[in-house]
Each structure stands twice: as C-alpha cells, then as structure tokens.
Amino acid sequence: MPAEDTVFNVVYDKYMFWSILVGIFTFGWMFIAMLRYRDGVEPDTTEKYKIEVGSFPVDSHNTKLEVAFYVLPTILVVWLTMIALASNYSAWTIPNDEDTFNVDVIGKQWFWEFHYLEELTWEDDPNATNIDVDWSATNLIVDTSGSEATNVTVEIDGVKFDYAIDIVAEMASISDFYLDTNLHNVITVYDANDVLLHTWEHLPVGTILSTAGGQHLIIPCDESSTLDLYSRPHDNSNPAYVGVQHSFWLPEWGVKEDLVPGLEAGTVMTFMPDDAGTFPIRCAEYCGLYHSKMVGNIDIVARDGASCAADSGIKKMDTGSDGGGY
C-alpha cells in the first residue's frame, strides 16, 4: 500500500482537478471583468449591459444563469465533502481484535517502542533471494542453492551463533537448537562480504522492539493491522510526568494518529498494507529537544510460507534511518 494506492491519493487527485478547473473559470472571469470595466473604457450603455452602481440589474438579468451559480457550486461542494468523509470513514473504521494483527506502539522521549500482542513468523521471499529457511523442532535447514550465501547466524533472544554454509551442498543443516516459539528467533544469511541476503524471524507474544536500538516495526502484509498508541514516560520515578504528546505518522500511506499522555485507553490506527518493503515512521507532533530524531522504519513482510499480493520481490529498500523532523 504505497501512497498511490491509498484512498487519500484518490481524494487528492479529485480535489486538485476541480480546484484547477474552478480556478481557471474564476480567475478567467475576473480578468475579463477587469479588462472590460477598467478606467478609461467607455461603458456599454445599451439597455442590455447598463449597470447602475448600487442597484441590481432587474431588467437585464438571467435567472437560469443565476440559479446555476448557486446550484452547481453547491453540488460540487457536497460531492467533495462526501468523498472526503468516505476516505475518513475507511481510515477510521476499526476492525475487531480477532480480525486484525495487534501491536501496541509506545511513544517515549524520543523513540518508539513496539509491543507485540500476537506472534509473527515471517521470511523474505525465497523466490527473490534463492534462500529458504525451514526450522521444525531440532532440524534447522537453510537451503541456499542458487545464491551466493556463505554464512548463517542463528540468534535466540539476542544470543548469536554463527555457522558456515556447505558451499558444495549449498545448504546448512543445524541440529543444535530446539525451536522454542516462546523465544525471539532470528535467522540471517550472509554472503562472503557480510551482505545480508535473507532473513527468517519468529517474534513471540510479548516481544518488544525499539527504534532506540535501531529496530524496525514489523507488520505482515495483506492483513488488517491495528496499532494501539500510547504516550508514556521512561519510568515511573516522577509521578508528575506522564509523557508528552507525540504523533505516529506513516507518511507513505497518509495515516497519522496522536499519542496522548495520560489517556489510559490510548488511540488507534488501522491499515492494511499489501506491498512488502521498508517505509518511514515519523513523529509529527513537536515533543521536545530531540523530536527530529524520533524517526523509525516499518517493514512490511510476508508470513513464513506466504507471499504478498502486490509483492515486487524486493523487501529491503533503504530509506535511511535519519530523515529529519517534520
């Protein structure tokens, strides 16, 4: 769901079209009137065009034209209001918890935390990277045939183990670990130059990712996702400090929602991305000294074994981690 797919883009195009049309008409008419009635031009005094200052031209007016002046702009304004409300309705309709992927987003001074309320297992598209990770119980198989992969890193709750890939067999078979789905497991595959080629990751319920550690928010594609947004202090050492106002903004999709300190229930944002990729997160509410550093990235990924409907086959496009403030 890059910007051109969103409802807001349609609204933008329609508003732009009608604004330009009405602008040409209005300014055109204004310039004609300026030229026709400018100083030094003898006014047309025939009965049809006779204008007397301060009195309505009762004899020479055109009722149909005057009614059209009111009716046509009214229809236009009502229609533009309706399409604007329809886009709001589609952005603000919040799905049931069961039908949607839920993550809590906590805004702090000055970073974002993502608390996973549901587990997620995802993998880069094996057709794009020629690498396939398959992990069941004690058997971890990394099939790298057709790729330049040389190394695998297995990371379990932050502890890393490195393995070399059998270049001849084009695979790595690791049986040192039992797959524990309660742990945060990440398998990353690299080439000889340490370039990241492929990622497989399992995020259990309760995982906390933070932009302070350079981590991205990871969301599955082709599902409705709901973020509950809260502004919180770092700790509870100062009861008078409950955090400050932030605003979680995904500029690529035209959605933004405030985080309100002290609001127990939080605020809600919902969206349904269909393109895999990495997109920027910004704080859109001035929140203090390092507001401009309160940036991050959101990764849209395919669940393990699935692929995204609109997948371009390229997951990682670098948007930079420091895009400045807004």
Binding positions for Cu ion, rule: CB under 5 A:
246, 283, 287, 294
Q: Which contiguous run of DSSP H or E holds residue 127?
A: helix 126-129
Task: Report the nearest approach of Cu ion to the CB of residue 318 (Å).
Answer: 23
Instruction: Decide whether 54 or 324 has the Cβ nearer to Cu ion.
Output: 324
Instruction: Decide whether 134 or 258 has the Cβ nearer to Cu ion.
Output: 258
| Positive or negative: CA dihedral 116, 112, 87, 3 | negative
Instruction: Decide whether 246 or 315 has the Cβ nearer to Cu ion.
Output: 246
Rounded to the nearest 5 degrees, what angle is found at the Cα of 80, between the Cα atoms of 16 and 91? 95
What is 38-83 written as a DSSP string?
-TTPPP--SGGG---TTS--TTT--HHHHHHHHHHHHHHHHHHHHH
Task: Report the nearest approach of Cu ion to the CB of residue 235 (Å).
Answer: 18
Task: Report the nearest approach of Cu ion to the CB of residue 287 (Å).
Answer: 3
Residue 317, C-beta contacts closer than 8 angstroms, at least 6 positions apart? 277, 278
| Positive or negative: CA dihedral 4, 5, 8, 11 | positive
Instruction: Decide whether 103 or 281 has the Cβ nearer to Cu ion.
Output: 281
Task: Report the nearest approach of Cu ion to the CB of residue 291 (Å).
Answer: 5
Task: Report the nearest approach of Cu ion to the CB of residue 242 (Å).
Answer: 14
Instruction: Decide whether 152 or 283 has the Cβ nearer to Cu ion.
Output: 283
- Residue 161's CB is within 10 A of a number of other CB atoms, namely 12
